[in-house]
Structure 1
Amino acid sequence: MLQYQIIPVTHYQQNCTLLWCDQTREAAVVDPGGDVARILAEVERLQLKLTQILLTHGHLDHVGGTAALVQLRQLPVIGPHQDDMFWIGMLSQQAQMMGFAPVANFTPDRFLHEGDKVMVGQAELEVFHCPGHTPGHVVFFCREAGLAQVGDVLFQGSVGRSDFPRGNHQQLVDSIRTKLFPLGDAVKFIPGHGPMSSFGQERRTNPFVADKHYG
């Protein structure tokens, strides 16, 4: 079964997540935005074998520690969708804009597309391409665990910003309502920032995407 540990990182308090298979102890780090030493300390504390980096999208607070982790652990970088490469290619500009120290560039080893699968040990993650916050944003879903890693698509009581370059609010709403909500009300999700929630709770109460606003 897939297990998880959320590690808030950087002054943005972005939810970096360790996902691991409890049978093999193989782990992936999702969206390592920074504070790499803290992430690796948690890997050691949990006695995990870190095998890959998974990225939901290309914003610096989610990818800022990627190059450092690759250098330290020689890990493959999986995701996001290739449409976010323009964000990854602008890391120096993002750092200046967001008040981060400069970080090294990197190129993902594998871009992801709708319907792809990623294995973490024996646990399978399904990939959903969910544009709107960024054009290449992806979501990871473990059907067995009823758990989704949604990045900055959906939050408890809110949704991701769509006013960045190549953002699109209608695309964002469509991604949530046509791809995520059909996965089931009981599915819990880890957002890119803030507390966890469930798709059912957001369908009932989220002022941006609740059912009552869409007939």
Structure 2
Amino acid sequence: MTLIIDPWFTVTELDPKTFAISEYGHWEKVHSFLLLGEEKAALIDTGLGIDHIKRITDQITELPIIVLTTHVHADHIGSHGEFDTLYVHEDDADWLMNGIKGLSLDQIRKGMARDITLPVPKSFNPFTYHPFQGIPDNVLVDGDTILLGKRDLTIYHTPGHSPGHISIFDQSTGYLFTGDLLYADTPIYAFYPSTNPVDLVNSLERVAQIKDITKIYGGHNQLGLEPIILFDVMDAVHYIRKHNLDRHGTGIHSFRSFSVQF
């Protein structure tokens, strides 16, 4: 692939058929991921919507693109309107169509506006920003398989951060894409009214039991985590349950390689 130099997005080739599209100029350091099959491509999330991510995907592939939504929060659906085919889990479909629950528009706009370190396009105004709303083309359920052509993706329903949060396992590479279920450097959030700490802990336990994971790609911060982190995840699950911490208001809980906030 020709090196892509862009004023907003950073493109990292994870392998010849997998690309991270990162937004390091914003405090959330959001990652979206483009996976190429032989017949289709999957774009896992579409970022903040500060700039147009399709400008990047058009430079990488001419394959038809399916957008797989890990969850319906503004920083992961920002460029959904640029694509024709949107998939979302059934439990987040209402949020995509009718608006995100548990976060006010004012909160979302403040989050978009803060700590931006790169120039943004003239089309972006955080004070008039509105999260994407639209009707999904397909509703996902746990256990679905997405066929891209000699590349199959398995959908895991991993609620907690949102009701319809999903993680996506790439059977051909062993990559696990965890959205906002698991990442490092800043706390995993489950303190909003629309989050569920018990579900999040159950989901962490579930992904820790997936076999043959070679790399974990979360939706924020460090790009790529080694699967050894899953031992820390299981230790954290046991500790949180033992001490009855999976409740709103118990604060930030730090473990060896990640933390959560309830």
Band of TM-score, shorter chain: 0.7 to 0.9
Count how many residue pairs are aligned between Structure 1 and Structure 2.
204
Q: Which of 1 and 2 has greater Rg?
A: 2
1:77 partnered with 2:86: yes
Q: 1:87 to 1:104 in 2, by over 3 A?
A: closer
Q: Is the 8 A contact 1:19 1:27 kept in 2?
A: yes
Q: Is the 8 A contact 2:175 2:213 kept in 1?
A: no
Q: TM-score, normalised by structure 1?
A: 0.81
Q: TM-score, normalised by structure 2?
A: 0.67
- Partner SS state of residue 189, structure 1: strand
Q: 1:184 to 1:199 in 2, by over 3 A?
A: farther
Residue type of the alignment partner of 2:159: P
Q: Distance in 1 between matches of 2:135 and 2:188?
A: 24
- Partner SS state of residue 149, structure 1: strand
Q: Is the 8 A contact 2:39 2:148 kept in 1?
A: no
Aligned-residue offset at 1:94: 5.0
- Partner SS state of residue 134, structure 1: coil
Q: Which has the higher helix share?
A: 1
Q: 1:194 to 1:137 in 2, by over 3 A?
A: same
Q: Is the 8 A contact 1:140 1:149 kept in 2?
A: yes
- Partner SS state of residue 49, structure 1: coil
Q: Is the 8 A contact 2:166 2:178 kept in 1?
A: yes
State the match for 2:135 in structure 1.
107
Q: Is the 8 A contact 1:157 1:206 kept in 2?
A: no
**Match 1:20 to one of 36, 43, 47:** 36
State the match for 1:57 in structure 2.
71
Q: 1:51 to 1:164 in 2, by over 3 A?
A: same
Q: 1:94 to 1:58 in 2, by over 3 A?
A: farther
1:87 partnered with 2:87: no
- Computed over aligned residues only, the root mean square deviation of the Cα atoms, in angstroms, reads 2.9
- Partner SS state of residue 148, structure 1: strand
Q: Is the 8 A contact 1:157 1:202 kept in 2?
A: no
- Partner SS state of residue 191, structure 2: coil
**Match 1:192 to one of 204, 213, 219:** 219
> Unaligned 5+ residue runs, structure 2?
1-14, 113-128, 243-262
Q: Distance in 1 between matches of 2:41 and 2:172?
A: 16
